[in-house]
Chains A and B, each alone.
Chain A
Amino acid sequence: MIALLLRDLKLAFRAGGGFGLGLAFFLIVTVMIPFAVGPQSSLLSTIAPGVLWLGALLACLLSLDRLLALDWEDGSLDLLATAPLPLESVVTIKALAHWLTTGLPLVLAAPFFGVLLNLPVPGFFWLVISLLIGTPAMSVIGTFGAALTVGLKRGGLLLSLLVLPLYVPTLIFGAEVARRGATGMEVQTPLLMLAGITAATIALLPFASATVLRINLR
């Protein structure tokens, strides 16, 4: 399992691996928003938590179609399916690698992008916490979507259509944590809901992903 994780990280960091793609997209969104809505700092402060969360979500989505497709195309998935590693572990490791190369950089970069959108000071902590808890769910749900659409020609659009509705609860509660945190309100309820969603997806979806992958490999 460690070998698969290390290989995927190595592949992501090497030329053409796609590391930094999500981060670049996140940067573009946050830089362009003030141009689009105007430079009023009060307005930017109000929309910053939601915009940052939406930017992070779309950045996560950007790299999903490569998650399993490359292994499918070069035959690695077939070979992994015949290896001693259970497919449940394979998809979990794939999701972890996706989070480490896409989700975690977004979490770490979010405070810097928060400055660009004039995020209120108390909001920085809660933005990072909410993304730290929410982004693993996005990687796990995304892996499920990737497993569903693997093998389909140009399945990227279908993947986005399938995955976006599943992202909505995470987006609602994640952005709510950041918004309440930024305005100094109590964050416990949305935070617990967000954590609950993440825990449930991590517990259940790898089994669903492995099952659909097994069917798609036939």
Chain B
Amino acid sequence: MTLTVTDLSITRGGIPVLEGLSFSLKAGKALILRGPNGIGKTTLLRTLAGLQPPLEGKIEGAEDRIAYASHSDGLKPTLTVTENLTFWASVFGTNGIQTALDTFDLNELADRHSGNLSAGQKRRLGLARMLVTGRPIWMLDEPTVSLDKNAVQMFADAVRAHLGQGGSALIATHIDLGLDGEVLDVGPNKARPKPIDDFDGGFL
């Protein structure tokens, strides 16, 4: 099922950041979200994930199908890598975390408390969470932060495998992951405040 976004306008803290955004994300495809800092990429991902309502526009095909990875990984430092992943697997009603551990090379760290991991290892664990959700659409916000070259490759392979299984991914990133997909540049859609004259006219 395709994720379709039509004429979407979103706000951050009450200020419009993007408007009139339309795109579709088909199964098996990735969409790379690009744009300068502060343009509203995170807000767009949060809106699509259902964390905030859009100002205007329609989002179709997103209900209970999105796995979201924000800047924070939601890891508990006093739980081990296995316990963190098992928790999210239980919450999403899936079982088996072994594939996630294998994909992100976390087997050796499985019994280590996540508070003792390096930033890159934590990020890998955060990304491994996407696999245990079992959701078809991945929304990833700057997923490669703190990752070294090998880990970036590991992540790109995981996304490729996910796309190969009919999943799709919307990724806000500034680096080239070599994925099969289009680039959505959100820069030109930045909302402009309406002229004051119009506002006065509407008010009167």
Q: Interface residues, chain A, CB within 8 Å of chain B?
A: 2-4, 7, 10-11, 14-17, 71, 73-76, 78-85, 217-218
Nearest to A7 among chain B residues (CB) is B87
Q: For residue B74, which residues in chain A have a CB less than 8 angstroms away from its CB?
A: 71, 74-76, 78-80
Q: Are B76 and A84 in contact (CB under 8 A)?
A: no
Q: Interface residues, chain B, CB within 8 Å of chain A?
A: 46, 49-53, 64, 66-68, 70-76, 78-79, 83, 86-88, 90-93, 129
**Complex A-B, nearest 10 residue pairs according to Cβ-Cβ distance, in ascending order:** A75-B72, A3-B90, A76-B74, A218-B52, A14-B78, A75-B74, A79-B74, A82-B68, A83-B91, A7-B87
Q: Are A84 and B64 in contact (CB under 8 A)?
A: yes
User: Which secondary structure dominates chain A's binding surface?
Assistant: helix
Known contacts A3-B91, A7-B87, A75-B72; A82 and B78 CB within 8 A of each other: no
Q: For residue B92, which residues in chain A have a CB less than 8 angstroms away from its CB?
A: 83-84
Q: Are B79 and A81 in contact (CB under 8 A)?
A: no
Q: For residue A11, which residues in chain B have a CB less than 8 angstroms away from its CB?
A: 76, 78-79
Q: For residue B64, which residues in chain A have a CB less than 8 angstroms away from its CB?
A: 84
Q: Are B73 and A75 in contact (CB under 8 A)?
A: yes
Nearest to A4 among chain B residues (CB) is B91
Cβ-defined partner of A10 (8 Å) among B70, B83, B93, B129:
B83
Cα A152 to Cα B92 with chains together (Å): 29
Q: Are A82 and B67 in contact (CB under 8 A)?
A: yes
Cβ-defined partner of B76 (8 Å) among A76, A82, A85, A217:
A76
Q: For residue B49, which residues in chain A have a CB less than 8 angstroms away from its CB?
A: 82
Q: Are A7 and B51 in contact (CB under 8 A)?
A: no
Q: Are A79 and B70 in contact (CB under 8 A)?
A: yes
Q: For residue B51, which residues in chain A have a CB less than 8 angstroms away from its CB?
A: 78, 81-82, 217-218
Cα A76 to Cα B114 with chains together (Å): 14
Nearest-CB distance from B49 to chain A (Å)? 5
Q: For residue B87, which residues in chain A have a CB less than 8 angstroms away from its CB?
A: 3-4, 7
Nearest-CB distance from A215 to chain B (Å)? 9
Nearest-CB distance from B101 to chain A (Å)? 18
Q: Are A74 and B72 in contact (CB under 8 A)?
A: yes
Nearest to B90 among chain A residues (CB) is A3
Q: Are B76 and A79 in contact (CB under 8 A)?
A: no
Cα A83 to Cα B135 with chains together (Å): 10
Q: For residue A7, which residues in chain B have a CB less than 8 angstroms away from its CB?
A: 76, 79, 83, 87
Q: For residue A17, which residues in chain B have a CB less than 8 angstroms away from its CB?
A: 78
Cβ-defined partner of A82 (8 Å) among B66, B72, B83, B86:
B66
Nearest-CB distance from B23 to chain A (Å)? 20
Nearest-CB distance from A71 to chain B (Å)? 8
Given A75-B71, A78-B51, A82-B51; 8 other pairs, CB 8 A cutoff:
A7-B83, A75-B72, A76-B74, A78-B46, A78-B68, A82-B66, A82-B67, A218-B51
